[in-house]
């Protein structure tokens, strides 16, 4: 179903998205067959991004195993950098919302990896596409089909099975292999952190859709880095988290890979969202 157009979104014509018609230099429309890569560019870049997101998550998980373990807010500082960028007028509030919600999207994932396996945390965060579809329907007046609603219900059932709430499953003494020190309360905290990540990612993707082509993807990236640094620093002050310095080459390497893999994933995620949702060029 679809409703009236949302005032939040910058509307462009996407009826011909995916068409094989291209414009020649003289303005004549010519039919040219697209290669496999061109037809599936958006999906291929999504696979690319997910690979680096998974690599980043594994690096964070390994950081949690160091002594002393690296806090989620300290991980956030490894991602952010104080890059100042003049945001275009008209989208500054949306860029701020994208930056703040994106920070909680990543930090929630970092937090959950302290108590959950990479596999469990990743599956829980896969709720993001469905919650984003709902947000797009509510805030941006985009269509939301019955099939998507049914898929959302099954995804929520999957979250319940992974979370294993005590009122349904009884004793939670059994924990996943590889996490012997995790108690039920910590596992529940990890699930809650994943839900924070889902909500944060939903806000980030929805705001990127609303921004559309009114800001360059690097505006989105640089302001996200700036606000990640600011919020992480404030959080460390509020929660009295000490500043720590790498004490081994492995620590330095993992912090470096978190930043590199995170940037590599995000640098293609932003334009891909714009490509898939607005038909803009990659």
Q: What is the pLDDT of residue 255?
A: 82
Question: Residue 7 has what pLDDT?
Answer: 60
The DSSP code sequence of 173-203 is ----TT-TT--HHHHHHHHHHHHHHHHHHHH
Rounded Cα distance, 170 and 188, in Å: 14
Measure the CA angle with vertex 100, ends 245 and 116; round to 5°.
Answer: 60
Give yes or no for a contact between 124 and 195, defined as CB atoms under 8 angstroms apart: yes
Q: Which residue has the tokens 């003494």?
A: 173
Q: What is the spatial distance between Cα 223 and Cα 97, in angstroms, rounded to a whole number?
A: 10
d(CA 162, CA 120): 7
pLDDT of residue 183: 78
pTM of this structure: 0.71
Please give the average pLDDT of every successive group of 10 residues along the chain, which has 282 residues. 57 40 46 73 74 82 75 60 60 91 91 86 84 90 86 80 64 51 81 93 91 82 86 88 81 84 70 50 45
pLDDT in the model for residue 195: 93
Neighbouring C-alpha atoms within 13 Å toward the C-beta of 203: 20
Report pLDDT for 43: 72
The dihedral built from the CA positions of residue 191, 197, 200 and 202, taken in this order, carries a sign that is negative
Q: What's the pLDDT score for residue 101?
A: 95
**208-211 contact pairs (CB < 8 A, 24+):** 208/98, 208/270, 208/273, 208/274, 209/9, 209/136, 209/140, 209/273, 209/277, 209/278, 210/6, 210/8, 210/9, 210/10, 210/94, 210/139, 210/140, 211/10, 211/91, 211/94, 211/95, 211/98
How far is Cα 34 from Cα 24, in angstroms, rounded to an integer? 15
Q: Of 189, 221, 192, 218, whose CA–CA distance to 204 is shortest?
A: 221
pLDDT by residue (tens digit) across 122-146?
888 888 888 988 899 999 988 888 8
Q: What are the residue ranges of helices labelled H in the chain? A: 36-39, 41-64, 72-79, 92-112, 118-125, 128-139, 146-163, 166-169, 184-211, 217-238, 249-278
């Amino acid at each position: 179903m679809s409703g009236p157009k949302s005032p939040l979104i910058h509307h462009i014509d996407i009826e011909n998205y995916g068409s094989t018609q291209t414009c020649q230099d003289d303005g004549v429309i010519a039919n040219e067959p697209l290669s496999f890569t061109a037809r599936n560019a958006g999906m291929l870049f999504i696979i690319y991004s997910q690979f680096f997101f998974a690599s980043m998550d594994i690096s964070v998980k390994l950081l949690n195993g160091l002594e002393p373990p690296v806090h989620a807010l300290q991980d956030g500082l490894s991602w952010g950098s104080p890059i100042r960028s003049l945001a275009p007028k008209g989208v500054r509030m949306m860029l701020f919302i994208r930056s703040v919600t994106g920070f909680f999207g990543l930090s929630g994932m970092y937090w959950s990896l302290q108590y959950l396996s990479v596999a469990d945390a990743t599956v829980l965060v896969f709720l993001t596409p469905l919650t984003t579809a709902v947000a797009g329907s509510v805030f941006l007046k985009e269509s939301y089909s019955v099939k998507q609603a049914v898929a959302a219900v099954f995804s929520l059932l999957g979250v319940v099975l992974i979370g294993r709430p005590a009122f349904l499953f009884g004793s939670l003494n059994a924990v996943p292999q590889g996490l012997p020190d995790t108690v039920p309360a910590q596992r529940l905290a990890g699930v809650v952190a994943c839900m924070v990540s889902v909500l944060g990612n939903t806000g980030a993707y929805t705001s990127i859709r609303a921004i559309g082509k009114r800001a360059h993807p690097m505006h989105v990236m640089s302001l996200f880095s700036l606000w990640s640094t600011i919020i992480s620093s404030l959080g460390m002050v509020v929660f009295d988290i000490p500043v720590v310095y790498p004490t081994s080459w492995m620590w330095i390497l993992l912090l470096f890979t978190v930043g590199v893999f995170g940037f590599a994933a995000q640098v293609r995620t932003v334009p891909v969202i714009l490509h898939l949702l607005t038909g803009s060029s990659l």
